[in-house]
């Protein structure tokens, strides 16, 4: 029984009994030798979900993103992405520090990316005057963009532009499952658009650890080397992959419940004019610029009443729903949070 209603992130979930049982009975082997049957099965099934040839299990989404980006962008060359993208905000400068990769950003505009703006930023390869653009990264759903979902038509336009310019298109799909559930776009349809993807098992799907890089067989062979270089070669990690396989089997369709809970929170807070944009998935961004409460004051008051809220900036806070906040917990948050704004 959680003492707090923890709405800070969907990373805080505990593995369920069923998931723990799957982990305990997993067959394992040394994955650096390619001998962990549970990891091999997870990689094959995730590749198939997205219609790609291969996938690679990685300890974190950050490592999966950085591997994917390094596959497509050589040192000294360039990746384009949103200014609020996870790859340039929350990965501690890894693209530059580890990959030697230059990044240039648009926005931040979250899921409202305008393909024409991105296309105008592309610099052709050749010559020695300017940094050549090698890849574009999008984020689905968009984390700092309030869980927004990039429309399929936008992604199709970006795909065509990337192909025309000879660029790779990467999707940070940590929460691609949420986009799939809310927009009804098949995972294979998303898969067909991207050269590389990263997908997380440890967010809404509720596994304790794990992400995958999804791409062609040739790219995943390179990814295996890059993962080892970054210290991500794991041994009998099938106990973790078993949690991931369990999560894929049991926890995708139920994300609709988390979206409904987020909608309830957004509805309860709408009268205070603090909900930033339309809530489409499991994230409720709170823009407090016009509120008497700043983000720290809100978080402190909510904590006192048993609700945990994330502070993303002085006047930006965030609520995230997940499988460990049940309806009773949302009832409590829906009571407590408006009271704080009413005071």
Beta pairing partners, 336: none
C-alpha–C-alpha distance, residues 284 and 53, integer Å? 35
Beta pairing partners, 104: 80
Binding mask 203-242 for ligand PLP (x = CB under 6 A): x-------x-------------------------------
Instruction: Name the segment binding ligand PLP (CB under 6 A); options: 61-69, 71-79, 124-132, 229-237.
Output: 61-69
Beta pairing partners, 170: 137, 196
What phi, psi does 310 have (nearest 5°)? -90, 140
Please select the residue that binds ligand PLP; options are 60, 102, 189, 216, rule is CB under 6 A: 60
Per rule CB under 6 A, count of chain residues that contact ligand PLP: 12
Place of tokens 């532009």: 161
Q: What is the DSSP string of 31-90?
A: GGGT--HHHHHHHHHHHHHTT-SEEEEES-HHHHHHHHHHHH--TT-EEEEETT-HHHHT
Q: What is the DSSP string of 196-221?
A: EEEEESSSTT--SS-EEEEE-HHHHH
Instruction: Tell me which residue has its CB nearest to ligand PLP.
Output: 61
Q: Which residue, 21 or 92, is less far from ligand PLP as judged by CB? A: 92
Place of tokens 């799939």: 180
User: Listing from the earlier edge strand, what are the strands of the sheet with 283-287?
Assistant: 283-287, 316-320, 310-313
Contact 156, 163 (CB under 8 A): no
Instruction: Name the segment binding ligand PLP (CB under 6 A); options: 55-63, 223-231, 277-285, 296-304.
Output: 55-63
Q: Which residue, 209 or 268, is less far from ligand PLP as judged by CB? A: 209
Q: Applying CB under 6 A, does 139 fall inside the site for ligand PLP? A: yes
Contact 138, 155 (CB under 8 A): yes
Please select the residue that binds ligand PLP; options are 52, 86, 134, 261, rule is CB under 6 A: 86
Please select the residue that binds ligand PLP; options are 26, 79, 200, 340, rule is CB under 6 A: 200
Please select the residue that binds ligand PLP; options are 13, 70, 143, 196, rule is CB under 6 A: 143
Q: Which residue, 127 or 231, is less far from ligand PLP as judged by CB? A: 231
Q: CB of residue 228 vs ligand PLP: minimum separation in angstroms?
A: 18
Q: Applying CB under 6 A, does 318 fall inside the site for ligand PLP? A: no
Q: Applying CB under 6 A, does 10 fall inside the site for ligand PLP? A: no
* Residues near ligand PLP (CB under 6 A): 60-62, 65, 86, 139, 143, 172, 174, 200, 203, 211
């Amino acid at each position: 029984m959680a003492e707090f209603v923890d709405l800070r992130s969907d990373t805080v979930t505990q593995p369920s009994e069923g998931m723990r049982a799957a982990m305990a009975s997993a067959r394992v082997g040394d994955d650096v030798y390619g001998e962990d049957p549970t990891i091999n099965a997870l990689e094959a099934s995730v590749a198939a979900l997205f219609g790609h040839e291969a996938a690679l299990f990685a300890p974190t989404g950050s490592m999966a993103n950085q591997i994917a980006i390094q596959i497509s962008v050589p040192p000294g060359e360039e990746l384009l992405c949103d200014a609020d993208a996870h790859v340039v905000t929350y990965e501690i400068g890894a693209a530059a520090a580890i990959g030697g990769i230059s990044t240039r950003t648009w926005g931040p505009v979250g899921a409202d990316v305008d393909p024409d703006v991105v296309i105008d930023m592309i610099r052709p390869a050749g010559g020695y005057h300017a940094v050549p653009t090698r890849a574009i990264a999008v984020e689905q759903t968009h984390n700092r963009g309030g869980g927004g979902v990039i429309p399929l038509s936008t992604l199709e336009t970006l795909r065509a532009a990337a192909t025309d310019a000879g660029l790779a298109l990467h999707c940070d799909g940590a929460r691609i499952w949420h986009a799939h559930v809310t927009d009804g776009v098949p995972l294979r349809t998303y898969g067909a658009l991207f050269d590389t993807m990263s997908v997380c098992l440890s967010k809404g799907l509720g596994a304790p650890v794990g992400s995958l890089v999804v791409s062609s067989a040739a790219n995943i062979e390179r990814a295996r080397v890059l993962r080892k270089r970054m210290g991500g070669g794991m041994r009998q990690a099938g106990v973790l992959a078993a949690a991931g396989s369990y999560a894929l089997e049991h926890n995708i369709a139920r994300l609709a419940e988390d979206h409904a809970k987020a909608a309830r929170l957004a509805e309860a807070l709408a009268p205070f004019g603090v909900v930033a944009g339309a809530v489409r998935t499991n994230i409720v961004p709170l823009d407090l610029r016009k509120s008497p409460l700043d983000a720290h004051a809100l978080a402190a008051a909510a904590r006192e009443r048993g609700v945990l809220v994330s502070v993303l900036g002085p006047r930006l806070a965030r609520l995230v729903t997940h499988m460990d906040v049940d309806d009773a917990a949302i009832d409590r948050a829906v009571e407590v949070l408006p009271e704080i704004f009413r005071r």
